[in-house]
Amino acid sequence: DAGVTQSPTHLIKTRGQQVTLRCSPKSGHDTVSWYQQALGQGPQFIFQYYEEEERQRGNFPDRFSGHQFPNYSSELNVNALLLGDSALYLCASSLAGPDTQYFGPGTRLTVL
Amino acid sequence: DAKTTQPTSMDCAEGRAANLPCNHSTISGNEYVYWYRQIHSQGPQYIIHGLKNNETNEMASLIITEDRKSSTLILPHATLRDTAVYYCIVKRGSQGNLIFGKGTKLSVKP
């Protein structure tokens, strides 16, 4: 039974570029949440997707957007990258939203 | 902001029980206590959660006080691989997001 998977593992971008991160949920899960973790901090909630709709959003600008596909996988898009967007981006999946969330290994994004 | 308070760091000897405290004095009746841990640069790992009864699984035990204002995560026989940051999180059943604080950095020493 595959757990949550994320790709790529690492990514380097320059300021102003756009990036897309991908997440496949744990088998049987239908909800995907995204978190940003800056160095030395706890993860911060970005948004959650359920039934292909954004159902909850944290305090992140519109440069952060997402999508959920019919197979429940999800993408996180960040436009106009800033140096401060450098972080570990985590995806978590769960069943029907408020259930226990299980995290993937994360994507380390470095913005130069 | 996180609704929990945890010590910044703790040490534990290998093979001994690790007892990690968490204060959540403003917890509401419909809020659960969740514990996750994060080993350096990996994704957080779910450990256990509970509402008001004590819980035990293959990883740990969770002891919640009767007034639910605090809890303790117990790792019965800590190993070097248990060295990690441990997060205590309070979450409503209907709430989608987890609010992480700074957690407790547990160091298990030989």
pLDDT in tens, chain B (110 residues): 668 999 999 999 999 999 999 999 999 888 999 999 999 889 999 999 999 989 999 999 999 999 999 999 999 999 999 999 999 999 887 777 899 999 999 999 99
- Which pLDDT value is given to residue B2? 67
Q: Give the pair of three-digit tokens for residue A80.
A: 């106009």
Span between the terminal Cα atoms of chain A, in Å:
37
Banded model confidence at residue A97, pLDDT cuts 50, 70, 90: low
pLDDT of residue B93: 72
Task: Read off the pLDDT of residues B17-41 as tens digits, 9 standing for 90 and up.
Answer: 999 999 999 998 889 999 999 998 8
pLDDT number for residue B88: 97
Tell me how many degrees the CA angle B85-B98-B81 measures, rounded to the nearest 5.
25
Residue B82's φ and ψ, nearest 5 degrees, are -85, -5
Provide, as residue numbers in chain B, all residues whose Cβ is less than 8 Å from the Cβ of A41: 102
The C-alpha atoms of residue A48 and residue A12 are separated, in whole angstroms, by 25
Which residue do the tokens 């999800």 mark?
Answer: A74
User: Is the separation of the CB atoms in B8 and B88 below 8 Å?
Assistant: no
CB neighbourhood size of B66 (10 A): 6
CA distance linking residue B25 with residue A76, whole number of Å? 35
Torsion angle defined by CA atoms of residues A17, A57, A88 and A103, in that order, rounded to the nearest 10 degrees: -140
Residue B91: list chain A partners with CB under 8 A: 98
Q: What proportion of chain A, given as a percentage, has pLDDT over 70?
A: 97
Q: Indicate if the pLDDT at residue A98 is higher than 70.
A: no
Chosen for mutation from A46, A100, A107, A109 (greatest number of chain B CBs closer than 10 Å) is A100
Report chain A's mean pLDDT, rounded to a whole number.
95
Residue whose token pair is 């030395």: A40
Q: Cβ separation of A42 and B34 shorter than 8 Å?
A: no
Contact A88 B41 (CB under 8 A): yes
DSSP B16: S
Hey, is B23 helix, strand or coil?
Answer: strand
- pLDDT > 90? residue A83: yes
Residue with the bigger pLDDT between B92 and A97: it is B92
For residue B42, which residues of chain A lie inside 8 Å, CB to CB? 105-106
Cβ of A42 within 8 Å of Cβ of B87? The answer is yes
Rounded to an integer, the average pLDDT of A39-68 is 95
Q: Which chain A residue is nearest to residue B86, measuring alpha carbons?
A: A42
Omega before residue A8 within 30° of 0, cis? yes
pLDDT mean over A29-41:
94
Q: Are A104 and A4 in contact (CB under 8 A)?
A: yes
| B71-96: burial string, b at 16+ Cβ within 10 Å, e else | bebbbeebeeebbbbbbbbbbeeebb
